[in-house]
């Protein structure tokens, strides 16, 4: 173990602390970060919990004081989060921004597929045991996201004359996508819940970083050259993006 890690290690430190606001009690997860210069609080959108980041030399007493002083903020942010939508029978998820109701088909073969009823209702059919519905829906959405993002990323790479080395799909809470200088792109699978134009824009955005590894005016000119719906997609994400994190959250 590196000397710095040994220096700042706190073996008896709890993983979380409790903050009481009125009659409600909230759990706040503690996280040390070697580059942190101050105490900060954020709300994890899919885990639906408060996270307090501490500087390396910060103390538990200071962390408790900071959390309690911001108790009203924690309560307001957590209390104002949209209702969670678990992946279970009867719930509705927006596959490519089109509402699909999850229907459990216990006696049928297969995994997950879509159907359209005579009424026009879109449904997401899930075979197998009820205990596997959540995992199967999640895996299906990740596969669909990978397929759409691979197609869009390689199309934009060809248009810009660059090469994508790999595309990975994750559940990122702080960003929708990322790009490395080696050509590795990473995206949130939750983009499959957004309108296709939004997913397409994110692919264009990250591939454009292979031309300009920054957010300079030159970078945005590259994005605009290959993607005609940049501003519309950015506005949609600003307005509705956080809502995508409520899907697949167990109540």
- The domain boundary residue, chosen from 79, 111, 143: 79
- The domain boundary residue, chosen from 43, 59, 79: 79
- The domain boundary residue, chosen from 34, 51, 79: 79
Residue 97's closest CA among 151, 144, 44? 144
Confidence (pLDDT) at 133 = 96
Residue 167 located in a structural domain: yes
Cα three-residue angle 220-225-229, rounded to 5 degrees: 80
Confidence (pLDDT) at 95 = 98
pLDDT along the chain (251 residues), means of 10: 51 85 90 92 84 93 94 88 90 97 91 96 96 96 98 97 96 88 96 98 98 96 96 95 87 54
Structural domain boundaries enclosing 71: 3-79
Cα dihedral across residues 236, 237, 238, 243: positive or negative: positive
Record the pTM: 0.78
Determine which helix (DSSP H) or strand (DSSP E) holds 67, and give its type and residue range: helix 60-69
Residue 104 located in a structural domain: no
Which residues on neighbouring strands pair with residue 52, listed in sequence order?
30, 41
Cα dihedral across residues 212, 215, 216, 217: positive or negative: positive
CB contact set of 201 (below 8 Å; sequence gap of 6+) = 227, 229, 230, 233, 234
Confidence (pLDDT) at 1 = 45
Confidence (pLDDT) at 64 = 93
Residue 46 located in a structural domain: yes
Residue 120 located in a structural domain: no
- CATH number of the domain enclosing 171: 3.30.2010.10
Confidence (pLDDT) at 78 = 86
Neighbours of 223 (CB within 10 A): 21
75 lies in the same domain as 162: no
242 lies in the same domain as 140: yes
Residue 228 located in a structural domain: yes
Neighbours of 198 (CB within 10 A): 24
Residue 203 located in a structural domain: yes
Determine which helix (DSSP H) or strand (DSSP E) holds 230, and give its type and residue range: helix 230-240
Overall domain count for the chain: 2
């Amino acid at each position: 173990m590196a000397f710095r890690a040994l220096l700042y290690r706190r073996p008896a430190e709890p993983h979380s602390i409790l903050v009481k606001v009125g009659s409600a009690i909230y759990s706040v997860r503690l996280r040390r970060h070697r580059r942190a210069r101050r105490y900060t609080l954020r709300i994890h959108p899919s885990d639906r919990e408060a996270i307090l980041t501490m500087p390396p030399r910060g103390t538990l007493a200071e962390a408790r004081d900071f959390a309690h002083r911001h108790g009203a903020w924690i309560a307001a942010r957590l209390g104002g989060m949209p209702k969670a939508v678990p992946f279970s029978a009867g719930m509705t998820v927006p596959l490519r921004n089109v509402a699909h109701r999850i229907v459990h088909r216990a006696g049928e073969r297969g995994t997950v597929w879509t159907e359209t009823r005579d009424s026009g209702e879109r449904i997401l059919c899930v075979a197998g045991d009820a205990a596997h519905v959540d995992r199967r829906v999640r895996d299906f959405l990740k596969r669909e996201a990978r397929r759409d993002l691979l197609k869009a990323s390689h199309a934009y790479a060809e248009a810009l004359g660059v090469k994508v080395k790999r595309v990975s799909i994750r559940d990122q809470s702080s960003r929708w996508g990322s790009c490395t200088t080696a050509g590795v792109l990473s995206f949130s699978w939750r983009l499959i819940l957004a309108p296709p134009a939004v997913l397409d824009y994110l692919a264009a955005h990250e591939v454009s970083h292979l031309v300009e590894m920054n957010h300079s005016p030159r970078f945005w000119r590259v994005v605009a050259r290959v993607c005609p719906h940049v501003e519309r997609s950015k506005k949609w994400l600003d307005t509705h993006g956080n809502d995508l994190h409520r899907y697949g959250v167990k109540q």
